Amino acid sequence: MTSAEWEQQIAALWADDTIDDRERVDRMRVLASAAPHPSLGAFELGGALDSAGEEADADEQYAAATAAALAGTDPARAAQLAVQHASTLRNLGRIDEAITMLQDAPSHASVGSAPAVFLALALHSAGRHDEALRVAIEAVEPTLPRYNRSIRAYAAALTGS
């Protein structure tokens, strides 16, 4: 199977809303084993496990994708990995790891402001509510048509800087 065919099958599997989580994971295992690069297979399988609520297994696959150099293979997926893996870590109660991962997340158009939004959620889970609100406001501020200077000032005031 070519890389393009593999990508098409991955996209089709994610788009198929007629199957349940278990079937998606089972089918993704097959596709992951045929991935053009091990990091791609681990990332996609991690996502399927994550979507199925199997966070501990997803964590293992996400870690495998990182170890297999996903960042060098597919920068868009690497940016998505930071968001997805950090969200999984937060759900597993590993909030400090999630915060660090999101603070270090690469920027990429494929995720937009998602790292900041997930960082705000992780900070909130850590009880750092003012910081969480500031991060969320700062993520939204560039999209506002006006009031930007005021919003930036209010956000900064939340954490005293």
CA dihedral 68, 74, 79, 83 (to 10 degrees): -50
- Model pLDDT for residues 10-64, shown as the tens digit of each residue: 999 999 999 999 999 999 999 999 999 999 999 999 999 999 999 999 999 999 9
Predicted local confidence at residue 82, as pLDDT: 97
- Model pLDDT for residues 68-106, shown as the tens digit of each residue: 999 999 999 999 999 999 999 999 999 999 999 999 999
CA dist 110 and 107 (Å) reads 9
Q: First and final CA of the chain: distance in angstroms? A: 54
Q: How confident is the model at residue 161 (pLDDT cuts 50, 70, 90)?
A: confident
CATH of domain 3-94: 1.25.40.10
Q: How confident is the model at residue 149 (pLDDT cuts 50, 70, 90)?
A: very high
Domain ranges of the chain: 3-94
Find, among 36, 43, 82, 46, the residue nearest to 65 by Cα: 43
Mean pLDDT of the 133-160 span: 94
In this model, does residue 1 exceed pLDDT 90?
Answer: no
CA dist 148 and 97 (Å) reads 31
- Model pLDDT for residues 133-142, shown as the tens digit of each residue: 999 999 999 9
- Model pLDDT for residues 99-132, shown as the tens digit of each residue: 999 999 999 999 999 999 999 999 999 999 999 9
